[in-house]
Amino acid sequence: MYYYAIDGDDIGRRLESLVLSEDTAAVRAFSRVVEAAIGRIREHLLAHGCSIILCAGDSILAEAPCILPPSATPTSLDGLSFSIGAGRSPGEALLALKRAKGLGRGRLEWLQRS
Distance between CA 102 and CA 96 in Å, rounded? 10
Cβ atoms within 10 Å of 57's Cβ, excluding its own = 14
Query: What does DSSP assign to residue 95?
Result: H
Q: Which of 33, 53, 31 is nearest to 42 (CA)?
A: 53
Q: What domains can you pick out in the chain, each with its CATH number? A: 2-111 (3.30.70.270)
Instruction: Give the model confidence (pLDDT) of 19-67 as tens digits.
Output: 999 999 999 999 999 999 999 999 999 999 999 999 999 999 999 999 9
Distance between CA 65 and CA 1 in Å, rounded? 5
For residue 111, what pLDDT is reported? 87
Instruction: Give the model confidence (pLDDT) of 63-104 as tens digits.
Output: 999 999 888 889 999 999 999 999 999 999 999 999 999 999
Q: Which of 112, 78, 98 is nearest to 5 (CA)?
A: 98
